[in-house]
Amino acid sequence: MALDIKDLKPRIGTEIRCNKDELLSGEHAARLRELLEQRGVLVFPEIDLDDSEQVAFTRSLGKLAPEMQGQEIYKVTLDGGANARSAYLKGSMYWHIDGTMNDVPILASILSAKVLSTEGGQTEFCNTYAAYDDLDPKDQQAYEKLRVTHSAWNSLFYYEPEPPLEMLEQMMTIGDNELPLVWKHRSGRKSLVLGCTAYDVAGMDPKESARLLVKLRDWATQPDFVYRHEWQVGDLVIWDNTGTMHRATPYDPASGRMMHRTKLEGEETFA
């Protein structure tokens, strides 16, 4: 059977409706991979996969990347009782790409909604392919020559402006990684590599560096390039981590909001 497909916005996001058994069979895997690269975000409304089904679906699309300590499912929540590292997830409320500390970032994340907050807690995505494509050609050429340093500790200052020294030093042990500002993908397409981990453009004055990174973040996250997902329990959303940034909108940590995440292992280096 053919997939029931509807684009959510012209530049990003596609809704897909299909039978759960059909989805888990893997028969649409190649088509879904194609759509993911083209559209950035795929939404399966209220398909209601349990954990084992989500793992099976993830494996149908590629190699499952284990979470911390090898678990297949990661609980995305600000509830410290359900996730001992929940404080670290505060950084997810700022535009970012997962894996900028790695030479090979994850290919995609798959998130399913289990419990929602009464207010906030939407997830926003922006298409960094489209953001690059719409730049002035002269800017494209100039930006392709630039490299940017990323770090987990830089993102700390977004949600903890005056962190204790011990916390800062712990984040600094994760290290820094210099990446191209423009990712030249093996497909031939190009995307911007930005987000709250980015803090220093090589060879630039600190103020000019900050100005450029904020300018490009504002450019990449303008409405034409952004899709905001309003969650319903049972929704499943996949996003291409190599061609989008994402963030959660603020919500009450005591709300019990709970998402279950699986990841697809990365297949290409930043280049």
What are the sequence ranges of the domains in the chain? Answer: 4-264
Q: What whole-number distance in Å separates Cα of residue 29 and Cα of residue 47? A: 16
The verdict on domain 4-264 having CATH code 1.10.3210.10 is: no
Q: What whole-number distance in Å separates Cα of residue 168 and Cα of residue 134? A: 37
Which residue type occupies 242? T
Q: What whole-number distance in Å separates Cα of residue 132 and Cα of residue 105? A: 19
Please list the alpha-helical segments (H only) found in the chain: 20-25, 29-39, 51-61, 128-133, 137-143, 152-159, 165-172, 206-220
Supply 138's token pair. Answer: 């002269």
Which residue type occupies 72? E
pTM for the model stands at 0.95
Question: Which pLDDT belongs to residue 1?
Answer: 66
Which residue type occupies 101? M
Encode pLDDT of 83-107 as tens digits: 767 777 888 999 999 999 998 999 9
**Which residues fall within 8 angstroms of residue 173, CB to CB, at 6 or more apart?**
none
Ranges of residues in the chain whose predicted pLDDT is under 50: none
* Distance, C-alpha 30 to centroid of its chain: 21
